[in-house]
Structure 1
Amino acid sequence: MGVVVLAMLGSLAVLAVAGPLWWGHAADRPDPSAVLQGPTGRHPLGTDHLGRDLLARLLASTWPSLLPAVAATLLGAAAGITLGALTAVVGGRARRLLGAFVNLLLAFPALLIAMFFAALFGAGARGAVFALAVACAPGFARLTQTLAAGVAGTDFMVAARVLGLRRHRLLLRHVLPHVAEPLLLNVTVAVGSALVVLSGLSFLGLGAQSPSYDWGLLLSQGLERVYTEPLPAVAPGIAIVYAGVAFQLLGEVLAKTATRHAAPRHAEEPAPPPAPAGRRPASPDHVLEVEDLRVALPAGDRTIRPVRGVSLALRRGEMVGLVGESGSGKSLTALALADLLPDGARATWNAHWFLGADVGSLTRGERHRQLATGMAMVFQNPASAFNPALRIETQLTEAVRAHHGTPRDQAVEQALVQLRRVALPGERRLLRSRPFQLSGGQRQRVAIAAASMLRPDLVIADEPTTALDVTVQRQIMDLLRRLRRDDATAILFISHDIALVADTCDRVLVMYGGTIVESLPARRLADGARHPYTRMLVASVLDLTADRDGTPPTVEGPPPDAAGTDPGCPFLDRCPQRMDRCAVEGPVPTLLAPGHEVACWRPLPLAAPPGQPETEEAET
């Protein structure tokens, strides 16, 4: 498509430049002996009423036909984009007035407005250009208004207003750069439409006037004898269609090019890694097992690897906490397990079992069906997880109706049962609500109810309590415990709250730099952590005995670079226990006690009770 468009636009450009130079003289030279001739060898399209060669006039009029269309589009786009973008930087009353003005202009067809203003400005090419600019400006204004509305309420716009930036700077720096791409694509497409409209105005006698001429005027003159000599009328029509299609296709090509980086790459999905010879089968009591999970994300000319060899297993009815600072790879690990990685990301593993099935051996459809019915996710922000245009009833029942074929009435009853389980009052009224009509706590409860509709074997809760107050947080945790107890559901609980994880989970996985650095029972997190990073995380949790005047303890130093390729320990630069071996060899998980593994060449000794020295243990 790109090659075809390039060829079409190139031919138009050559004709626009060379047409007046090569055929301009022949186009304007009358020949009384060849008036109104049909197509001949000397005049392939025939001649007009003055004996002028119609092919030469058609080729020479390329520039007078294209230039007004481009000029009218640019003038209309400039006026419309400015008008629409102003709605994002002016006050409420001015915004409403501008919106009403745009709506008023859009109430009339663009061609009717163009004809009215062409007659108002006077017949001629200049009047037609200004008339078409006025006609197409409302369309650009409405598009810009819609795009700018998504920018006007952002945090960076609020911050810019607080800083006191003037409106023209807000417009040029903060609004237009964020909406420029779709506007430019629309301008390209609009040139083709403008060409057709201007040709129509010339055809009606409101555009180019003799002795000037363009394709529209040539079409009008050729139509007078279309029944005797159709070619003089058909040829200008073909030229108009050819140029219009060229600009329309240019917009399509540019749109595809702009969105190519975000296009899904299902056809390029990598094949699952081959199974190692002699690999053990899945454990019957495990819902999920994954070994050496890795995630790679393309970022320009380099590759980011935020997950670098995660191994974990969850038993039925077990609640496992996954903790670590921001950027450690927790959420990407969860998305990789649920096959929800962003486009372009690639996940590999040595082994991946879910509900006893080898995920790598399943087809894409089989994997999606198994994950859709056996796994559920509760996201941190349920407002973005729900569709604001659909009612809660639709979003709660669509899964059981799609995967189990449950009738609508029965699915609604199941939804009411789940809403009662999460202690939401007014269930039937709530089913008729939309997500934006609920509070944050209610949306999170509905998200948990939706996750339990299919009675999944595994629920991944990605920071479900971070944005909630402590009262609602406690209620959400009680709901997860009830879900685990009643349905024997395994729960992978991702959180930054170390104290909450220690209080509610059975085991804790500590993640740093894309790897699991420590796995231990939750009850031992406070006094049994052996990895320096885990010990620092625990020490950063303040309690009532903390010194309010002192500096809160933190993990000093920056996190590791996700694109780095250093072979050593990812915690090397921040570790007070580092030694030479840590810089050249990454630590491997070592079993220190039943259920307690640490990936560290020099684990810390056990924390001693108050008043007693720490226990000295041999270096592993």
Structure 2
Amino acid sequence: MNLHAGHRWLRVLRTPTGRTAAGLVLVVLVIAVVGPAPWSGRANAVDTTNILAGPSAEHWAGTDNLGRDIAFRVLEATRLSVGLALAATAITVLAGLLLGTAPWLLGRRAGRLVSGAVQIAIAFPGLLLALFFAVIFGVGATGAAFAIGLAGAPMFARLVQTLVAGVAARDFVAAARVAGVGRFRILLRHLLPNIAEPLVVNATIGAGGALLAFAGLSFLGLGVQSPEYDWGRLLYDGIGVLYINPAAAIAPALAVLVAGLALNLLGEAVAKGFGMDALVGLPVPAGSPTDPASKRAAAGNARSEAEEPAGGSAGEPADDVVLDVRDLTVSFPGADRPVRPVRGVTLTIHRGEAVGVVGESGSGKSLTALAVSRLTDAAGRVDAERLHLLGADLRAPDSAGQRRRLGSSLAMVFQDPASSFNPTQRIGRQLAEVSRHHHGRNRREAFARAVDRLRAVRITDPERRARQYPHEFSGGMRQRAMIGMGLMGTPALIVADEPTTALDVTVQRQVLDLLTAIRAADDVALLLISHDVAVVSEVCDRVLVMYAGRIVEDLPTERLTGEALHPYTRALTGAVPRMDSPLDRPLPVIPGRPVDPAELPEGCAYAARCPLATQRCRDEDPPLRRHPSGHRVACWHARPAAPDDERKTREAPSAGEASPPSAAQASRNSTVQAPSASAVETS
């Protein structure tokens, strides 16, 4: 439950429905707890002189075939009826949690088998499942409890699977995975606390359904057996004398109705109080010194020139290489054939170097970063000739050592600071988790380290802030705290995926300055992914331009604006508005749309939008190779910008169009105005 759970429960009790339901449930529970003591004697007293008597002042609901008072028997049966219903609900919740979290814990293949079994079980009616399990476990109270509990487990398991899948896609779970936290620990600390409220709501509603189901089984003779009795058993006995004494059947039926209605109304009220009306309809019965910037740029240029092209020899990495990627491919299952949103990416990042990655949405930027961080979706397949972090092979199977290496050497900064932290845990505890898990620090030492890291990322009053929840932080503070989490270890590489997109300009400047300062102080490498060419130009030494899953140009930052060789790179930089842009002319745009990764053309993927494209471009995909100017480019017509290139870019029609798109249409396709990554890129 989160910080406001107590206030939400109070809000539930303030509504008329909530007060009524809570009152009824309280009465039922009190009767169940204290019931047998005051009236057990009268409920079991046999009076053969008063058999099958009708309602009277002495016997409000009459007597049964042994002269026992039916009203007192209904009151005494409350404990067994409610207790068995709650036991069945507990079995439903426990079995549903085990089945629902199995796909997360077991992985893709075993998890798929569990999910398939759950879906098959859901296809059968709940009553049929209950009867099936009743036959297996046998008649009686214990068998009926297991039968009803297991019959409700598939629907509860599907709910858990859905909720876990939603929370598992959040950035704070990815951050925990990058930190090397195991799946079971993530489940207990991050997933379950964030889905507890909807589970409580549905378990409450499911308790009412279990009560009705239990009464039904006892009525059919498969539940509680004589001499014990619950409401269903009393209803069964009352039906036999319905025409002699109707109250014998009405009294237990009324008890089932009131208790079931109270539990269901309470579940409805809790759902509305917690703001989860959509879930109610679910059919659930349950420091080193700083080098000058000029020296870094020169070193970056020399390293760029020393790299091999994508199709060439991989070679041996230098001693200062932090990340070495050769021929990285990421594929997902498609309707006809695998879809490859990342195709043959090769890059090398050295200590202290800042490398930027730019490109339109869907170009594969974020997916490349996720593949490096081992955060791709379970359905995705990552292949590479080499994928090394500090010389360690990231393609190796998951292990404690692998997780420890990632957690200590790699820091990930996500796009949305609001989803970067678990909302149910304090900031300091989340930062301290990294130190406790990887560095063996105790609780006090880890918390002190967390406070120190918050101070290092320029958060004022870090001791107080460490004890606050994420919602008490502003967006910029959350982003800085996220960077602080990455600094809990000794990271050699920071991967920042659109770290300033959700922030205003002032806070954006602060975050970028912080990343620059960290990189300079500790000689940390930086991989910065952004749509904003200006941001990358300001922060990075080298820029990788991606299009359709490939690196189409790799060049030093100072050459990006005036010396780019690829038409797409020039189009990207040309689409950035400038202060001296003529106000009477439309903004430059890139006509057409990016290609679909599932329908890649035979030749150059940019050919349909390129003003310089020839037939060779449409037939042959150019390799990424060294140009005489010094940097790498994948283009058959690589050259500096010609005087009329800007005009050709604006006038070139998009694929399938007879004329250039309008300014409104083109602006929607412009790289600088694309707000977020595509669905494929963020899978």
TM-score by length of 1: 0.59
The CA deviation at 1:607 is 5.7
In the alignment, structure 1 residue 324 sits paired with structure 2 residue 359:
yes
In 1, distance between residues paired with 2:14 and 2:367? Answer: 41
Q: 1:210 aligns with which of 240, 249, 254?
A: 240
Partner in structure 1 of residue 415 of structure 2 = 380
Deviation string, structure 1 residues 355-410 (Cα, Å, up to 9, x no partner): 01233346544322211111010001122121111111111111112101123333
Q: 2:333 aligns with which of 275, 298, 306?
A: 298
The CA deviation at 1:424 is 1.1
In 2, distance between residues paired with 1:533 and 1:403? Answer: 44
In 2, distance between residues paired with 1:450 and 1:528? Answer: 38
The CA deviation at 1:190 is 7.7
Equivalent residues in 2 for 1:123-134, closer than 5 Å: none
The CA deviation at 1:341 is 1.0
In 1, distance between residues paired with 2:594 and 2:200? Answer: 37
Gaps of 5+ in 2: 1-10, 36-54, 64-73, 90-151, 164-197, 219-229, 244-281, 283-310, 646-683
In 1, distance between residues paired with 2:382 and 2:564? Answer: 30
The CA deviation at 1:207 is 6.8
In 2, distance between residues paired with 1:302 and 1:607? Answer: 40
Describe the SS at the equivalent of 1:445: helix
Partner in structure 2 of residue 367 of structure 1 = 402
> How many pairs align?
412
Partner in structure 2 of residue 586 of structure 1 = 621
In the alignment, structure 1 residue 194 sits paired with structure 2 residue 212:
yes
In 2, distance between residues paired with 1:94 and 1:534? Answer: 61
Output the amino acid matched with 2:385.
Answer: N
Describe the SS at the equivalent of 2:599: coil
In 2, distance between residues paired with 1:280 and 1:96? Answer: 70
Partner in structure 1 of residue 41 of structure 2 = none
Q: Residues 582 and 594 of structure 1: is their aligned pair in 2 closer, same or farther, counting only changes over 3 Å?
A: closer
Q: 2:565 aligns with which of 530, 536, 540?
A: 530
In 1, distance between residues paired with 2:61 and 2:606? Answer: 74
In the alignment, structure 1 residue 450 sits paired with structure 2 residue 476:
no
Equivalent residues in 2 for 1:495-534, closer than 5 Å: 495-534=530-569
Partner in structure 1 of residue 587 of structure 2 = 552
The CA deviation at 1:550 is 3.0
In 2, distance between residues paired with 1:571 and 1:285? Answer: 35
Partner in structure 2 of residue 284 of structure 1 = 319
Judge which range, 374-383 or 543-552, deviates more.
543-552
In 1, distance between residues paired with 2:377 and 2:562? Answer: 38
Deviation string, structure 1 residues 295-339 (Cα, Å, up to 9, x no partner): 112356653321111111100000010111111111111111000
Q: Residues 435 and 441 of structure 1: is their aligned pair in 2 closer, same or farther, counting only changes over 3 Å?
A: same
In 1, distance between residues paired with 2:61 and 2:510? Answer: 70
Output the amino acid matched with 2:500.
Answer: T
The alignment-based identity, stated in percent, is: 40
* Contact 1:521-1:595 within 8 A present in 2 as well: no
In 1, distance between residues paired with 2:314 and 2:445? Answer: 44
* Contact 1:528-1:607 within 8 A present in 2 as well: no
Partner in structure 2 of residue 352 of structure 1 = 387
Q: Residues 413 and 181 of structure 1: is their aligned pair in 2 closer, same or farther, counting only changes over 3 Å?
A: closer
In 2, distance between residues paired with 1:607 and 1:277? Answer: 30
* Contact 1:202-1:208 within 8 A present in 2 as well: no
Partner in structure 2 of residue 471 of structure 1 = 506
Partner in structure 2 of residue 310 of structure 1 = 345
Q: Residues 311 and 112 of structure 1: is their aligned pair in 2 closer, same or farther, counting only changes over 3 Å?
A: farther
Q: Residues 348 and 181 of structure 1: is their aligned pair in 2 closer, same or farther, counting only changes over 3 Å?
A: farther
* Contact 2:334-2:598 within 8 A present in 1 as well: no
Describe the SS at the equivalent of 1:569: coil
Partner in structure 2 of residue 339 of structure 1 = 374
Output the amino acid matched with 1:209.
Answer: I
In 2, distance between residues paired with 1:375 and 1:201? Answer: 61
Query: Cα RMSD between the aligned structures?
Result: 4.2
* Contact 2:351-2:525 within 8 A present in 1 as well: yes
In 2, distance between residues paired with 1:121 and 1:537? Answer: 84
Equivalent residues in 2 for 1:37-52, closer than 5 Å: none
Partner in structure 2 of residue 159 of structure 1 = none
In 2, distance between residues paired with 1:328 and 1:562? Answer: 9
Partner in structure 1 of residue 457 of structure 2 = 422
In the alignment, structure 1 residue 602 sits paired with structure 2 residue 632:
no
The CA deviation at 1:204 is 1.7
Q: 1:412 aligns with which of 447, 462, 467?
A: 447
In 1, distance between residues paired with 2:340 and 2:622? Answer: 18
Output the amino acid matched with 1:548.
Answer: L
Describe the SS at the equivalent of 2:626: strand
The CA deviation at 1:279 is 6.0
* Contact 1:424-1:442 within 8 A present in 2 as well: yes
In the alignment, structure 1 residue 459 sits paired with structure 2 residue 494:
yes
Q: Residues 423 and 188 of structure 1: is their aligned pair in 2 closer, same or farther, counting only changes over 3 Å?
A: closer
Deviation string, structure 1 residues 111-133 (Cα, Å, up to 9, x no partner): 979x9xxx99999xxxx9xx99x
* Contact 1:459-1:492 within 8 A present in 2 as well: yes
In 2, distance between residues paired with 1:366 and 1:281? Answer: 24
Deviation string, structure 1 residues 391-435 (Cα, Å, up to 9, x no partner): 111111111121011233333333233222222111111011010
Describe the SS at the equivalent of 1:459: strand
Describe the SS at the equivalent of 1:420: helix
Output the amino acid matched with 2:212.
Answer: A
The CA deviation at 1:558 is 1.4
Q: Residues 487 and 305 of structure 1: is their aligned pair in 2 closer, same or farther, counting only changes over 3 Å?
A: same
Partner in structure 1 of residue 186 of structure 2 = none
Name which one, 1 or 2, has greater alpha-carbon Rg. 1
* Contact 1:294-1:310 within 8 A present in 2 as well: yes
Output the amino acid matched with 1:441.
Answer: G
In 2, distance between residues paired with 1:609 and 1:473? Answer: 35
In 1, distance between residues paired with 2:313 and 2:529? Answer: 33
Output the amino acid matched with 2:483.
Answer: I
In 1, distance between residues paired with 2:637 and 2:486? Answer: 41
TM-score by length of 2: 0.54
Equivalent residues in 2 for 1:103-122, closer than 5 Å: 103-104=22-23, 106-107=25-26, 109=28
In 2, distance between residues paired with 1:528 and 1:297? Answer: 36
Partner in structure 2 of residue 17 of structure 1 = none
In 2, distance between residues paired with 1:527 and 1:329? Answer: 25
In 2, distance between residues paired with 1:595 and 1:388? Answer: 48
In 2, distance between residues paired with 1:580 and 1:121? Answer: 94
Partner in structure 2 of residue 67 of structure 1 = none
Describe the SS at the equivalent of 1:528: coil
